[in-house]
A and B are shown apart, each in its own frame.
Chain A
Amino acid sequence: MAHIRKAEGVIDWLDQRLAVKKLAKVMMTEYWIPKDINFLWAMGVVLVVLLKILIISGIFLLMYYKPDVNLAFDSVNYTIMQEVEYGWLWRHLHGVAASCIFLIIYIHMFTGIYYGSYKQGREMIWLTGMALFGIFSAEAFSGYMLPWGQMSYWAAQVITNLFGGIPFIGSDLVVWIRGDFAVADATLTRFFMLHVLLLPLAIITLVAVHFYALRIPHVNNQEAEELDFEAEAKKFQEGKKRESKVVPFWPVFLSKDFFVVGVFMVLFFYLVFYHYDFAMDPINFEPANSMKTPAHIYPEWYFLWSYEVLRGFFFPVGPIAAMDIGLAAFGFANVIFMIFPFLDRDPKVAPAHRRPRFKIWFWLLLIDMIILTIFGKLPPLGINTYIGFVAAISFILLFVALPFITKKDALGGTK
């Protein structure tokens, strides 16, 4: 057992028992981050802040929310929105943060793709990140059901129905997931459990693993320069701060992040108070009605691109029904980002602007996903269906082409 001395103070007392000084060094003051970064590297901390807002606002919503099909709508829209002091604020924060967190996740993801921060030892960062994306999607979907508005009900109906397309077990699986023949009380209560317990636990665990996965391969930098972190850290500690290519997480890296967070929060609170409809769809302020389909059914904006991949295939090919093709494409869209590091056949880590073909591929992917997103919300009529089809096919072809393009870049050398 360690020798325990009389403590000189609270910190020392804790240090003797928990090694808090060592811990602070490992986690904060001697956790080295490259200096050559831009504000996109702050998205991780912005995401942490949004997650905290979601957890805190969620706790207060949980105190008055009632997971019951007869009570849910009024508990949200009357009790929380109109009676509970600041209840409306927690709900607006929760709804807007849920939407914004996806915007930042997408920026974070495309930053990773652009700078090649998913390969050569950084695969686990990418994989845990995509797993987080998947669980956040489930979290968002289950949360959207809780207010029991029209879109809560019909989105749940449509999305759970997707499982019906799985061969053989499909229709039984749908009933099993719902716990009823249609989306009903049993469905609401089990998705409530997922939303407030199981999925948040998984998210928090995965966030820890995601952070840990950064420690061994280290954070990437703007030019993907391979740094000798120990040597650079030594320079910093010796006082050659200008010369060193790294900075400590605290206070240097975080001081920049706090500024980015501050700027982002100005926008965020503007949205919370004055411009929330994009995140809190007005249609969901109509109570759920299983006998009345809304004129337009669409998921939240962050699911639209994969929804459009699903809808894009609207005609059967030979004996295969349109819906099955769409479902297969939808499955493809949801797993393909997961295996991204293994589709990139160029072993070198480099930002897209130094990879001539990949650079074009990157912008094409971004534009294609934006087209899918926009057309995913429009009614599938006339020309819209064809644009959706072309965009969905393009999405798949882009990923089919990825290994060849990156291979070619590797052979051609980087600029």
Chain B
Amino acid sequence: MREFKILGVVIFFTLLVYWGVEPFAHSQMHPHVAPADFTFKDLGTLQKQGDPKTGADTFMNAGCIGCHGVQSQGMPAPMDNASASASFGVTPPDLSSAGAIYAENFLAALIKNPAHALKVEHKFNETRQHPMPAFYGLGDDLDQEIADIVAYLKSIAPKQMNGKEVFVDACQRCHDMKYDKMYTTSDRETLAGYMGINPPDLSMMIRSKGTEYLNIFINNPQKQLAGTSMPRVGLNEVAQEQVISYIEETGDRKKSQREAIGPKIIGFMLIFAVLAYLWKVKIWRELH
């Protein structure tokens, strides 16, 4: 029938335009990158078995608490946020939950060589040192000492965390989440100096970037945005999923309502179309 032929032509050209301006254009503008790697293969695996008890001592002796707080163990941060960010550019993280949210080989690599593990070696060098000094060990086997520290951090970490708590520990030192009234703990001006620009507010990131992009980006920012000053975050898979769903709950909080109403309205229009068709057939019957 003629109408179907015409409909076919209209649909063909509509889909062709759609393909051209959406999937095809995006494939050209944003080349495909490898998916997130939660094993952090480039950092190797942890060879030694750490002991949390020894780790606690190593942790104290290594000078970590010179900068970091561990609130859950009754060790507050040595400086308030304002003076800490003035001295370091950004406030140093509290380590209470580090063992829970970061991958263990990432933590180990970070302690050994921060700029390398964070993938910010393009920003820091001999003359401009990373604010966290590398740990050269207390004299015994370095890898064993680091494994002990990691084991200690894991032993004190909370077993259960929600997305917002992960956000606080992993993101909030630099980023705002305006739509949830969460603001960076660092001083904005020194932070801008430290990072090059003020890190963006994350409220609408879920709509501007989407889950897939965020998942790859947080795991390794350099893959999506070469040269960015944002460090690799090093979250393990569970924590990253939690923080992304927190970003989604904040930026797209009507998603569930949208998805619940959708089928109802589409169903309504389907019935509308069927009734309209029956009415049309009735009216046109006497015309042909």
On A, residues with C-beta under 8 Å from B are 35, 38-40, 74, 77-78, 81-82, 88-89, 92, 103, 107, 241-242, 247, 251-252, 255-256, 258-259, 261-263, 265-266, 268-270, 272-274, 277-278, 282-287, 295-296, 301, 304, 366, 370, 373-374, 377-379
Q: Kindly provide the distance from the CB of A385 to the nearest chain B CB, expressed in whole angstroms.
A: 13
Q: Indicate whether A107 sits within 8 Å of B22 (C-beta atoms), given known contacts A259-B280, A273-B261.
A: no
CB of B208 within 8 A of CB of A35, answer no
Could you say which residues of chain B place their CB within 8 Å of the CB of A252?
A: 283-284, 287
Q: Kindly provide the distance from the CB of B246 to the nearest chain A CB, expressed in whole angstroms.
A: 15
CB of B18 within 8 A of CB of A282, answer no
Q: At the interface, yes or no: B124 with Cβ under 8 Å from chain A?
A: no
Could you say which residues of chain A place their CB within 8 Å of the CB of B261?
A: 89, 273
B176-220 interface code vs A (CB 8 A; 1 in, 0 out)? 001100000000000000000000110110011110000000000
Q: Considering only CB atoms, which chain A residue lies closest to B16 in the complex?
A: A370
Q: Considering only CB atoms, which chain A residue lies closest to B10 in the complex?
A: A107
Q: Indicate whether A266 sits within 8 Å of B273 (C-beta atoms), given known contacts A38-B6, A258-B279, A273-B262.
A: yes
Could you say which residues of chain A place their CB within 8 Å of the CB of B259?
A: 273-274
Selected contact of A241 from candidates B204, B257, B280, B287, CB within 8 Å: B287
- For the A-B complex, the count of residue pairs with Cβ-Cβ distances under 8 Å equals 131
The total of chain B residues at the interface (CB under 8 A) is: 51
Selected contact of B269 from candidates A78, A88, A266, A274, CB within 8 Å: A266
A153 to B7, CA, bound (A): 38
Q: Indicate whether A38 sits within 8 Å of B25 (C-beta atoms), given known contacts A242-B287, A252-B284, A286-B208.
A: no
CB of B284 within 8 A of CB of A278, answer no
CB of B286 within 8 A of CB of A242, answer yes
Could you say which residues of chain A place their CB within 8 Å of the CB of B13?
A: 366, 370
Q: Indicate whether A77 sits within 8 Å of B203 (C-beta atoms), given known contacts A82-B254, A266-B273, A377-B21.
A: yes
Q: At the interface, yes or no: B14 with Cβ under 8 Å from chain A?
A: yes
CB of A295 within 8 A of CB of B29, answer yes
Could you say which residues of chain A place their CB within 8 Å of the CB of B208?
A: 282-286
Q: At the interface, yes or no: B41 with Cβ under 8 Å from chain A?
A: no
Q: At the interface, yes or no: B136 with Cβ under 8 Å from chain A?
A: no
CB of B273 within 8 A of CB of A38, answer no
A277 to B25, CA, bound (A): 13
Nearest 8 pairs of A and B residues by beta carbon = A262-B273, A374-B20, A273-B262, A285-B208, A285-B207, A259-B276, A377-B25, A255-B280
A260 to B13, CA, bound (A): 19
Interface pairs (6), CB distance under 8 Å: A251-B283, A259-B276, A259-B277, A273-B266, A285-B207, A378-B28
A283 to B266, CA, bound (A): 28
Q: Considering only CB atoms, which chain A residue lies closest to B258 in the complex?
A: A273
Could you say which residues of chain B place their CB within 8 Å of the CB of A377?
A: 20-21, 25, 29
CB of A373 within 8 A of CB of B17, answer yes
